[in-house]
Amino acid sequence: MVDKDASLTQPQRKPNADTFLPLSRVRTIMKSSMDTGLITNEVLFLMTRCTEFFVQHLAREAHTAYCGKAGGGDTLKYDHLSQLVNKTKNLEFLLQIVPEKIRVHEFQEMLRRNRANGGDDDSTSESESQSESE
């Protein structure tokens, strides 16, 4: 039913009113945000479509910026995404969601340094007490 040629990647893409993502799921996600009032069908359509754009935007940007460089082949990897998020201003809201991976010993080194600083950093002492309680 969905025309393959109308793919969002094509610059000459035909405008259309078909969505790929399920509207009901997007509605649930929108409602999970505080204070969201009524959601009209029009707003729901717009949000669904713009989330689709976002998925494709993220994939495309990460791919063009980092894929195929340093002999990594043509596979989009997690690290490409975290690098992109780290370097792009309007993706700042994803810093906690797609963090750069660090090695265990690097993390331990970080903890040690924070302890040495006397734990004056609020967020660090919080996360430490969390890991201790687990």
Partner 1 sequence: MVERIEDLNLPNAVIARLIKEALPEGSNVSKEARAAIAKAASVFAIFVTSSSTALAHKQNHKTITAKDILQTLNDLDFESFVPLLSQDLEVYRKMIKDKKESKANSKKDASTGDAATSSSNTFADAIEMVTEA
- Amino acid at residue number 24: S
3-22 positions binding partner 1, by CB under 8 A: 7-9, 13, 15-18, 20-22
Minimum CB separation from partner 1 for residue 105, in Å? Answer: 21
Closest C-alpha among 26, 29, 30, 48 to residue 38? 30
Question: Is 20 or 107 the residue whose CB approaches partner 1 more closely?
Answer: 20
In terms of Cα–Cα distance, which of 112, 119, 84 is closest to 100? 84
The 8-class DSSP code of residue 4 comes to G
- Between residues 8 and 111, which has the closer beta carbon with respect to partner 1? 8
By beta-carbon proximity to partner 1, the closer residue of 21 and 111 is 21
Which residue among 43, 65, 102, 110 contacts partner 1 (CB under 8 A)?
43
Query: Is residue 83 a contact partner of residue 66, using CB atoms and an 8 Å limit?
Result: yes
